[in-house]
Amino acid sequence: MQGSYLALLLLICLTKSEGSTKVIRKGILVLVILAIVTEIASKVSANYFNSTALVEHFYEITYPLTTMLIFWQLFEMPHERRRVIWSILLFLVVSFAVLLIDGYDEINPIRNVIGQFFIMGFSVEYLFKLFQNATVPRLKYHLPFWFVAGMLLYNATTFFVVLFERVIRVEDTVLFYSVWQIQLYVSILFNLILAKGIWETRRRSS
């Protein structure tokens, strides 16, 4: 997966941006760096501590948090931004409550479910406004459209996989690993969508 992340980093560095495109460009850069650091940290933690729980907790909190902060920047109306802030606060409260109740060794899917739910909601809201207002003449060159559409596809596809992760894992291990491949494939598709959006934006600006 690091190869696709590095390719995204290269495209981002070569892309000129302004306005909402600049917001998404910086947001993608943070998410990509976060993913690379987490992947490296997971390998180190597994080798030296025989556990990746702390790294997983870190990623599962910071990734949705960063994504919601990107939406906070994309939304312009005060009531929209307040809704994002309240969602972030609720997400953080639930995340740390789960840590205190279950401990650091347990990975509770409720945190991911809540994070994905908020991200899907913000994605639908943003896309609805984009089509309703029709302020962007050519969506093909609008990087926020590619980012939000990719986020919606990824989270909507993997939402039920995450929701029923524990049940599937206990009932049928083979089925669990088969179903979990969906998340891998959708993650690759998400990266391709981002790469396409960044490339189209770069073509327009060049």
- The pTM of this model reads 0.84
pLDDT tens per residue across span 150-185: 999 999 988 877 777 766 666 666 776 777 777 788
pLDDT tens per residue across span 71-125: 999 998 999 999 999 999 999 999 999 888 877 777 777 888 899 999 999 999 9
Under a CB-based contact definition with an 8 Å cutoff, are residues 56 and 43 in contact?
no
DSSP result, 170-197: HH-HHHHHHHHHHHHHHHHHHHHHHHHH
The CB-based long-range contact list for 111-114 (8 Å cut-off, 24+ gap) reads: 111/60, 111/61, 112/60, 112/64, 112/162, 113/159, 113/162, 113/163, 114/90
Domain tally, the chain: 1
Instruction: Choose between 3 and 61: higher pLDDT.
Output: 61
Helix (H) / strand (E) containing 205: helix 173-205
Please report which residue ranges of 17-163 form alpha helices under DSSP H.
20-49, 53-74, 78-102, 110-133, 143-163
Rounded Cα distance between 113 and 128, Å, is 22
3-state secondary structure of 105: coil
Rounded Cα distance between 114 and 88, Å, is 10
Name the token pair of 45: 């933690």
* Domain extent for 81: 2-205
